[in-house]
Every structure is written in structure tokens, then in C-alpha cells.
Amino acid sequence: MATPEGATDRGLSSSQRISRSQEFLEAYSQERKWVGRAMVLFLREGKGASLRLGVVASKKVGKAHQRNRARRRLREAWRLNRHCFDGAVDVVLVARRGAVSEPFERIEWELMKLARRAGLVHSAG
């Protein structure tokens, strides 16, 4: 499907995602985290870091369909707002129970709040 003329590509390609478990472990071990009601934001610095996203939801979040929904909502919030982010880091979002039940606007607001605290939001955003 072609994008309309003048529209920016806001997809989330495989090169914009973290997929290797080692990179997730590096993010956790660097202990740069910010906690919210719907998510925990981890930053990973190091080789290959370029504002890629990794999303995780454990069984604490709920059954499989709830975990999938939580991951989709966090990815979508990131996708819609990533133009505001800046930095040579990767981001891992860990879903919490609130990621399933909170209104989507609240999830976006919380992502931006955590990103500001983490120093990801550039001055124009």
C-alpha cells in the first residue's frame, strides 16, 4: 500500500526494533530505568544503539491476548511519538497491567513523561 503524497513514513521496520535477547539484557543491566503506571522505560547505550524499540510483556500483565494488546499499544504510542525523540540509545518498554486498561491517551502521555525524564525528548518536542 502506497503512502499518500507528502505523508511521512511512520512505520516501525525491523531495523527500528530490538530483537536480540542480549540487547534486552544489556538494557536491564545498565539500570537506567524510569517507572510509570502502564510501563517501565529502560535505556540501552552501546553498539548499535539508534533509537530502536523493544517491547516486553510478562505473564504478570495477563493472559496472552492481554499481553499482545499491551505490546501493541506501547508500540503504537512509540510509533506516533518517536519523531519527538532524540539520542543514541535504544529503548525497552516493559508493559505493566495498566498498559491494558488505561486509556490510550494516558499511555501516550506517560510515554512522553518518562521520555522527558530520561532525556529522550529533543528541545523542539
Residue 125 lies in a domain: no
- Residues in Cβ contact with 17 at an 8 Å cutoff, skipping those fewer than 6 apart: 52, 53, 54
pTM (2 decimals)? 0.86
Average pLDDT taken over every residue of the chain: 88
CA 98 vs CA 48, 79, 90, 120, 125: distances in Å? 31, 19, 23, 22, 25
**Residue 1 confidence (pLDDT) above 80:** no
Domain count, the chain: 1
Q: Could you tell me the residue range of the domain that residue 112 belongs to?
A: 18-118
> pLDDT-derived band of residue 6, with 50, 70 and 90 as boundaries?
very low
- pLDDT for the residue 8: 52
- Taking only the tens place, the pLDDT of each residue in 75-100 is 999 999 989 998 889 999 999 999 99
Residue 11 lies in a domain: no
Residue 7 lies in a domain: no
Residue 70 lies in a domain: yes
Residue 63 lies in a domain: yes
Residue 124 lies in a domain: no
